[in-house]
Amino acid sequence: MAESGLSKTPADMTFAARNRTFDLHESLGRDWHGDRAFQTAFFNALSFSFPSGEKFFVDSVKHYLPRIDDAKLKRDAAVFVQQEYTHRREHQRYNQALAAARGFDAEKLEALFQNQIKRINKEPPIVRLAATVVLEHVTAMFAAGSMRYHRWMEGADAAMADLWQWHAVEETEHKSVAFDVFLAVGGKRKLLRRVMRIVRVRFPYHVFITIFRMRRMEGKPALSLSFWREGYRFLFGRSGIIREVAADFRLFYRDDFHPWLINNRDQLQETIMRLGPEPELHANSSS
Ligand SMILES: [Fe+2]
Ligand SMILES: [Fe+2]
């Protein structure tokens, strides 16, 4: 893989933030993922983690930017910041529209993740950056899965599929930025593994709590057998998404791990083509 200096994003890959916006009002009032209640709830729960999570990623990386003098890594980091801010904006709109459509208390649902971020923010900057690297790997791994297995989005409402695929594309493009910054400032792989051992338990736990709370807020049985059976199949079944990302997950523990060990540039390109050209937002939109 050709690369330059401290940035291990492939050298011939340039990427930019897309200033996209999505009108999801029509979609969010129903089980937009092919009428499947669990799959819809699963993606909706992830959305509640993004506003505080993506701000945290940006802050953790920005803290170290003055120490980075590699031009490509600096440029990639600037795009990373723009991309994450745009994701944050769109997921805030998503969460507000979802809450209005289904009667959820968005603030309460987001607070669960905000409180986790508050806890991590008490840690030293290098631990915060390690947590960002870990969560960026988790995100990139699911992004890769969604581009590799089209089935993950089969039957989903078109606008919703577009939003998730757009997010997957940009998570893939910037997947090594936090990691490269972490190594450039002397971060140790041992710390990454330690943080991953915590995140791999806590993050899914909070996603499940969010799903549970959303069910209750809607007045639906939180312990419905058919709902959780669908969830088990979707996550852990023979073609469950957890099984399908397991190999990518394990790569993180390798001594030579780098996010671009998962070289999915073909699927990235294919997804960008499928998404089509960026719609014109504003007359002067430049990003
Ligand atoms: Fe993001
Ligand atoms: Fe990201």
pLDDT at 286: 39
pLDDT of residue 276: 87
Closest ligand to residue 174's CA: 2
* Section 34-41 average pLDDT: 97
Q: What is the pLDDT of residues 152-164, one digit of tens each?
A: 999 999 999 999 9
Q: How many residues are given for the chain?
A: 287
Query: Which residue has better confidence, 282 or 72?
Result: 72
Model confidence at 8, pLDDT cuts 50, 70, 90, reads confident
Ligand 1 center–CA 67 separation, angstroms = 23
Residue 132 alpha carbon to ligand 2 centre in Å: 9
Cα separation, 84 vs 42, whole angstroms: 21
Mean predicted confidence (pLDDT) in 169-196? 97
- Whole-number Å distance, alpha carbon 83 to ligand 2 midpoint, is 8
Of all ligands present, the nearest one to the C-alpha of 173 is 2
Rounded to the nearest whole angstrom, what is the distance from the C-alpha of residue 79 to the centroid of ligand 1? Answer: 12
Decide: residue 170, CB within 10 A, 0-12 exposed, 13-18 middle, 19+ buried: buried
Residue 13 pLDDT grade (very low, low, confident, very high; cuts 50, 70, 90): confident
Q: How far does the centroid of ligand 1 lie from the alpha carbon of residue 185, in Å?
A: 23
What are the CA-CA distances from residue 168 to residues 120, 142, 161, 176 (Å)? 25, 8, 10, 14
What is the rounded average pLDDT of the residues 161-182?
Answer: 97
Q: If you measure from the C-alpha of residue 171 to the centroid of ligand 1, how many angstroms do you get, rounded to a whole number?
A: 6
Residue 7's DSSP bridge partners are 4
Give pLDDT, residue 10: 79
User: For residue 281, what pLDDT is reported?
Assistant: 59
Q: In the chain, which ranges are continuous DSSP H helix?
A: 25-28, 37-64, 71-102, 106-120, 125-148, 158-173, 177-184, 189-217, 225-236, 241-251, 265-275
Ligand nearest to the CA of 167: 1
pLDDT at 240: 95
Predicted confidence at residue 2, as pLDDT, reads: 42
Going from the Cα of 118 to the center of ligand 2, the distance in angstroms, rounded, reads 19
Q: Given a cut of 90, is residue 58 above it in pLDDT? A: yes
Using only C-alpha atoms, the chain has a radius of gyration, in whole angstroms, of 18
Q: Is the per-residue pLDDT at 245 higher than 90?
A: yes
Please give the distance, rounded to the nearest whole angstrom, from the Cα atom of residue 177 to the centre of ligand 2: 9
C-alpha 81 – ligand 1 centre gap (Å): 9
**Rounded mean pLDDT of the chain?**
93
Looking at all shown ligands, the one closest to residue 136's CA atom is 2
What pLDDT shows up at residue 278? 78
> In the chain, what are the domains?
32-275 (1.10.620)
**Which ligand is closest in space to the CA of residue 175?**
2
